[in-house]
A and B are shown apart, each in its own frame.
Chain A
Amino acid sequence: MPDLIYVYCVMDRAPVLEHVAVPEAKPASPLAELPDLLVRDGLYAVVGRVPAEDFSEENLPVRLKDVEWITRRLMLHERVVEHAMQYGCVIPFKFGTVYHTEENVYLMLDAHATEFRQNLSELAGKQEWGVKIYCDRRQLTANVAAQNPTLVELDREIGAATKGRAFLLTQRRVKLMTATVNDEVARFGQECFDRLAGQGLRARVNDSLPPEAGGESEEMILNAAFLVTKEKTPQFLDTADQLQQQLVPNGLRLKSTGPWPPYNFCRFSTESA
């Protein structure tokens, strides 16, 4: 079976691809992995040759359950796109876009040429930054218990109350605590998002990932992406650092990452998710 063509990203200038650091395969299969360029009318598709066996209808489901294979392919995808990004603006493809022939890649470039060019010109000189905020609910709850006047007063009342009344007051306390902590989480999340969005051109909130996805003990309360001009980036990162310092005493933690390829900010009218 001839190899298939996997598309990593599209650009409007040629990256140098010889030095891409490709994650090691076990067993080693170096040649098939080095990325390549397909050029059409000033648009460059950064592609790789992948074994047809891996992406065939019967084998793909098996491969997708192979953690080592999928991890390697995901990291390879990201590394190739990041490498290409050093040479100019990129339109990153979603994982797993595969064509049977070079001709079909050219047809895809033709069909979407206008959209590629529009996105490339809009995204030039801009960077995507990711911001995730995590919350340690136990610490936030302890802070709220110590600082919220209503809860402090309630705790005092519970301490002085008879057993029956203390029971009722404790039930009230649980409800009030949950509501207050949720309000605090929403308030912190919104404030951070607004301040960071104020520094960026565009902002996007994505679904928070479930805790088991990252092995983080804390709960992810904000998963956002920002498109920032290169000039504004230092300011944006300063703001992120300031917010992080404000959050830490409250049991929250802000993690900023980037610059990323603009995964969150490509606008395609058709077929976009």
Chain B
Amino acid sequence: MNDVVARGRDVGLLEVLDRVLNKGVVISGDLTISVADVDLIFVGLRVILSSVETMERARRMSVAQTAPELA
């Protein structure tokens, strides 16, 4: 991250959960979240994800209205 500008990080939770929950090294811990658990998390997060996205859109729109060059 030092030499390349990070882009698209406003995507937030969706991108994060697509990796943190679905990918990454799977090594059995003493306790490990199961696939069924992950499904459960997805169901719960759908609600919050749609609201996060809506908020970000609203924010982008208000930015666009006040400062078009930043949008």
Interface residues of A (CB under 8 A from B): 4, 7, 10, 55, 57, 60-61, 64-67, 70-71, 74-75, 77-78, 82, 85-86, 91-100, 104, 108, 112, 127, 130, 206, 209, 212-216, 223, 230, 233-234, 237, 255-261, 263-264, 266, 268, 271-273
Complexed CA–CA distance, A91 and B22 (Å): 15
Complexed CA–CA distance, A263 and B15 (Å): 12
B68 CB within 8 Å of chain A: no
Residues of B within 8 A of A261 (CB): 19
A263: contacting residue among B23, B27, B32, B33, CB under 8 A: B23
16 contacts between A and B (CB under 8 A): A4-B30, A4-B31, A55-B31, A75-B13, A75-B16, A91-B25, A93-B26, A130-B19, A209-B14, A213-B42, A213-B45, A214-B50, A256-B7, A257-B15, A259-B4, A268-B26
A127 adjacent to B4 (CB under 8 Å):
yes
Complexed CA–CA distance, A256 and B2 (Å): 18
CB distance from A123 to the nearest CB of B (A): 11
Leading 9 A-B pairs by shortest Cβ distance: A96-B33, A215-B50, A215-B53, A94-B24, A263-B23, A257-B8, A97-B29, A263-B19, A98-B31
Interface residues of B (CB under 8 A from A): 1-4, 6-9, 11, 13-33, 37, 40-42, 44-54
A67 adjacent to B8 (CB under 8 Å):
no
**Chain A, residue nearest B24 (CB):** A94
B8: contacting residue among A108, A233, A258, CB under 8 A: A258
B44 adjacent to A272 (CB under 8 Å):
no
Residues of A within 8 A of B54 (CB): 215
- Contacts A206-B18, A259-B6 known; 6 new A-B pairs at CB < 8 A: A57-B31, A75-B16, A86-B2, A97-B28, A130-B18, A273-B26
A264: contacting residue among B11, B23, B27, B48, CB under 8 A: B23
